[in-house]
Copies of this chain bind each other. A is one copy, B any other.
C-alpha cells in the first residue's frame, strides 16, 4: 500500500514499519532489505490486485482479452479500498541512478503484458478471426498505452465511470 501510493524511493523504512506495526529489525529479518521487500510487494500485487491482465488472458478471443483487461483495469484502478492506479505502472517512475534496477523490474512486467496482448492478437490473425492486415504489435502498444493512461487518470481523480468511457472509446478503435 505504501509503495503503491508513494513509489519505491519516496517510501521510507520508517513509514513501512509504522504501516506494518513492526520495528526495523523485524522487517530486515523477514525480507532482507528494502529492495527485496519491494520485489515481494510487487509479486504479491501481481497475484492479487494486479492479476487482471492474467485473468483477461483467459478470454477466448483477442478482442475479449483486450475488452476484459480494460474493464477490469477501470474497476481496479478506482477501487476505494486501496490507492488509485497501478503499482506496476507508477511505483518506480521517479528513480535515482542507484535504483535503476527497480525501474527495470517494473518495466519487465509491463513489457510482458504488452507482449502477451500482441501474441493473442497475432494468434487471432493467424486463425483468420482478425484481418491479415492487422498490425498486432501496434494494437498491443496502443492498448498498453491506454491502460497506462487510465492509471494516470485514476491517480488524477477519474471515477470508474470515467475510465469505463475511456475503455468504450478505446474499443471503438478495434479493427472491423
A→B interface (CB under 8 Å): 6-12, 89-97, 99, 107, 110-111, 135, 137-139, 141-142, 144-150, 152-153, 155-156, 158, 162, 165-166, 168-170, 172-173
Contact = CB atoms under 8 A, between A and B. Distances in A.
Contacts of A158: 141
Contacts of A89: 152
A94 B169 contact: no
A168 B118 CA distance: 17
Q: How often does this chain occur in the complex, in copies?
A: 2
B153 A145 contact: yes
A171 B87 CA distance: 28
Contact of A149 (B10, B95, B138, B146): B146
